[in-house]
Amino acid sequence: MEDSPTVRGIRAFGSVVVMVGLYILIRYALFDWHQMKAWPLVLFVASLAVIVVSAFIASWRISLLCCVGYLAGFFAGWLFQADGTDAGGGKTNSLWIIWTLVYLLAVLLGMLWERQHNKKLSDKA
């Protein structure tokens, strides 16, 4: 059963509201944990793009895992981060890399979940 455009719009709007909340939480409330100004915004904008595309293809699963991946990726990065020094003597940190990889993995899992769901629907028909 396919969702109506209204239901898809409400789900997309809900996902955007959740993402805005997560962005504000991570970018501002948890700033002392990561001290990154630009990267939370970059992933937030990418998340908005994923949510918009998933709304057009009627996939709430991708939107859901996009939001989960944003939050889970941040906490995984915060937990497993490592500080280092680059060749020029500058400080480096792996939080943003871990965050991005977990986020991308979550979006990929959402796509696979959606594909599996669509395959089951087509097998029933």
Distance CA 124, CA 61 (A): 20
Q: Say what the pLDDT of residue 1 is.
A: 55
Number of structural domains (the chain) is 1
Per the structure, the complete domain to which residue 14 belongs is given by: 5-124
Tokens of 6: 């209204």
**Predicted confidence band at 125 (pLDDT cuts at 50, 70, 90)?**
low
Give the mean pLDDT of 77-106: 94
Handedness of CA 56, 69, 92, 88 (dihedral sign): negative
